[in-house]
Structure 1
Amino acid sequence: MKHLLHIFITVVCIAVVAGCADSAIALLDSLSPAINQADKATRMRYDLMLIKSRDKAYIEHRNDSMIAPVVEYFTGHSDPDLTPLALYYAGRVYSDLGDAPRALDYYQKAVNSLISNDNDRLRTYIYTQIGDLYYRQGLFEYALNANKKSLDLSYALNDTLF
């Protein structure tokens, strides 16, 4: 059962990455009863993927009740892939809540937790969000610097459509 659940969550993650956010939310919601019986690691991965899929579907985050335990879990377990992702989505949540200082803090923690250049796409997203926050605060020089970093990373990734 545990392996089947991990496989199903992986399939859902692929659907999220492929841009099927609404379908991913429906799939994740259908897993909710089984997730309640799962171990903590699986529940935290599930919550992170649910937050991610809702964000990709442009569903505004209304509170931090779901992301706070996820961040606490992944920062305590130092997962090289999921820790930066959890910190990034904490930034997204606090950005939606209008708490720019806290969002910037989480974005900076996410950048600092990225170990290698393998995560340059996430680094690009982080700097884009940082630039957007600075722009909305009227800090245009900081916004320009963050967006330049994002653009430079995009070019390095040959992502000209970013």
Structure 2
Amino acid sequence: MKATVLAALLLAYCILAACTRSSPNAQLVQADSLMQKFPDSALHFLEKIRPEDLNSLEDRAYHALLLTEVKDKNFIQQTEDSQIRIAVQYYDSIKNIPMQAKSYYYWGCIRRDQNNHPEALKIFFTAIAHAKKISDNKLAGYIYNNIANLYLLQRLNEQADSIYQITERLAIQEKDSNLLADVLSQRGMIDINKGKEYYSEAEQKILLAFKISRHIAQRSLMAKTAYSLSLLYGRMNMGKEAVEFA
């Protein structure tokens, strides 16, 4: 009799748990699906979801990560890391490596925007360690690009270029035109700063970056690469070309 009652209680608990479990929240999954192609719509969607209305730690962590990610994709500078720390702590606790990689990456981006470069680098290196475990080469490319950018800001040009070369290989491997154009532009600027003997290499890299940015209609990259070419042609005493790209 006791065994029958115990079995009935256990069955009732399992049914209740199955019925009440809401993770992953359907709204969060929908927002995530909008992230790549419609980041502005995803941001609007996520901002309407209140964290206190989410029923589980999993959903609150997922929401925190998505909100940080979508703000980054909408080029909103973030200097407050309380939200992303919720995601970092949760995914660390359950050892979800793919989500650890993403949450550490976006935490590093916030530290970068805070101009806390040593801490940003430390976090990015943790992110890259997680990304390597799951062979997420696309994410690894963006992490390496951020590491290289931080080295460049510190005028560690050789270290930056070595990391940019890794980024370039990953961008080609993943067919990521946006990342490839950006890294080629950065490497070209390093070549410009090396001096006249590197101007030809700089021109090749930046012209290719300009062509890619035009092909994918990435206006901010077009402006960036056109500026770099104008600067380069000015230094090469090619006034007509310098004015054209300016």
- SS in structure 2 of the partner of residue 93 of structure 1: helix
Name the structure 1 match of 2:119.
102
Name the structure 2 match of 1:27.
45
Name the structure 1 match of 2:138.
121
Q: TM-score, normalised by structure 1?
A: 0.90
- SS in structure 2 of the partner of residue 24 of structure 1: helix
Query: C-alpha root-mean-square deviation of aligned residues, in Å?
Result: 1.8
Name the structure 1 match of 2:34.
15
Deviation at 1:28, TM superposition (A): 0.5
1:36 maps to amino acid: D
Deviation at 1:3, TM superposition (A): 4.2
Q: Structure 1 pair 59/161, CA: closer, same or farther in 2 (3 Å)?
A: closer
Tell me: higher relative CO, structure 1 or 2? Use CA pairs within 8 A at least 6 residues apart. 1
Q: Write out aligned runs for 1:5-154 (5 A).
A: 6-18=25-37, 20-32=38-50, 35-114=52-131, 115-117=133-135, 119-154=136-171
Deviation at 1:70, TM superposition (A): 1.9
Deviation at 1:59, TM superposition (A): 0.8
Structure 1: gaps spanning 5 or more residues: none
**Range moving further from structure 2, 1-10 or 23-32:** 1-10
Structure 2: gaps spanning 5 or more residues: 1-19, 180-246
Deviation at 1:24, TM superposition (A): 1.0
Deviation at 1:161, TM superposition (A): 4.4
Question: Equivalents in 2 of 1:15, 1:153: separation in Å?
Answer: 25
1:49 maps to amino acid: L
* 8 A Cα contact 1:94 1:103, kept in partner: yes
* 8 A Cα contact 1:36 1:43, kept in partner: no
Normalized per residue, the structure richer in helix is: 2
Deviations 1:40-94 (A, max 9, x none): 1100100100000011111111222222222122122111221100000010000
Question: Equivalents in 1 of 2:46, 2:21: separation in Å?
Answer: 16
Question: Equivalents in 2 of 1:141, 1:73: separation in Å?
Answer: 37
**Count of aligned residue pairs for this structure pair:** 159
- SS in structure 2 of the partner of residue 60 of structure 1: coil
Question: Equivalents in 1 of 2:156, 2:142: separation in Å?
Answer: 19
Q: Structure 1 pair 62/116, CA: closer, same or farther in 2 (3 Å)?
A: closer
1:81 maps to amino acid: P
Deviation at 1:130, TM superposition (A): 0.7
| Runs of 4+ displaced beyond 6 Å | none
